[in-house]
Structure 1
Amino acid sequence: MEDSAIRELRADATRNRKQLLEAATRVFISAGTEPSMRAIAREAGVGIATLYRHFPSRESLVDAVYRDQVARLTSGARELLSELPPSSALRGWMDLFGDWIAAKNGMLDTLLVMIESGEIAHAQTRDELLTAIDALLDAGRATGELRADVSAEDIAASLIGIFTVAHPHEHDARASRLLNILMDGLRTTL
């Protein structure tokens, strides 16, 4: 097989994997309970064999979606800060956090087993998310937009509370309202 044909196959496999992750995330976000692997393959527009070729078990798929979502949250903080004022970036990041919570709800049973067994390092995820929040808060403090007396832990706890009472995709308006109230409390008066 020629090098260009191998590269094309690898590119195709990479696209399939990305497509599967995106589809799985959508299904996990919209599912009330853990969806079947067939439902995820169907959403991705691929056969079940393709799904299992990329993710040989439910755990490997959940792990990949979970890590992808955490990476989106950490890179999302940087991207939002590069495009928006810090307070707007933080508010946009809160929506990303809501998507992450919603995705976790659709894979919760498997995720809990994986955390309990040590397959997923919950403490590492926590540290990564707190670092992302700190970057947003630090930028907002530097511009004078955000209060200096609020910690990343305060924000994380507030977000968990908000999304516990207002699941982002069942109560979009309520979650949005609560997030806006939180943001009002985080801003300094200029």
Structure 2
Amino acid sequence: MINTNNWTIRHLRRAASLKLVEMTAGTPWAQSADALGIPRGNASRTMWVLKEQIPNDDIWREFETAVEQIARILDSDPNRINYADRRRAMDTWEMPQVDWTRLCTGIPKMARMATQNPLIGTALVWSEVTQAEHLQCPPLKALRQTDSPQARRVGDRVAQLLTPSRQMAGSLILRHRLNQYAADLAARCDNGTGPLSPT
């Protein structure tokens, strides 16, 4: 029996990334986590959570087979996206306050969101563009290292907006707007014009 929750997808994505690095570099998961910039504690927790949620060996084999299929698809795709380049391009990018306000404007019951820290939008867009975990977003990571109340508030708000069960009504509209913004920004990264704020 599989005991999933709202964060199972996040843990599966992280585990798949660790497995892909392990397959290409031949490193154990702890060193694979280092290569991806994922704290070893987070990687360890992912492995523990998934083993608790998916104790069936047959399902684990299906997961590993799926990751191997992903690896084959990536190997055979001549137009695959270079996410490392995107992360480098986005390394110092932060969402301008004017963009954050514009994205939040006109959404029912979300008026207060426009007055909150645009770092919320930065983390969500950075994560979408790079397909990396929002906790690795450089400005958010730097703020979290200060252990300030603001860091916790921003982190909590980002986590809420990422929680599948909370993606409804105004939150869902905002996520759609952020994803479109991210798609425009990703195209700029890919064509070499840089992560300028999309219009």
TM-score (norm 2): 0.25
Higher helix share: 1
TM-score where L is the length of structure 1: 0.26
Look at both structures and tell me which one has the larger radius of gyration over its CA atoms. Answer: 1
Whose RCO is larger (CA < 8 A, sep 6+)? Answer: 1
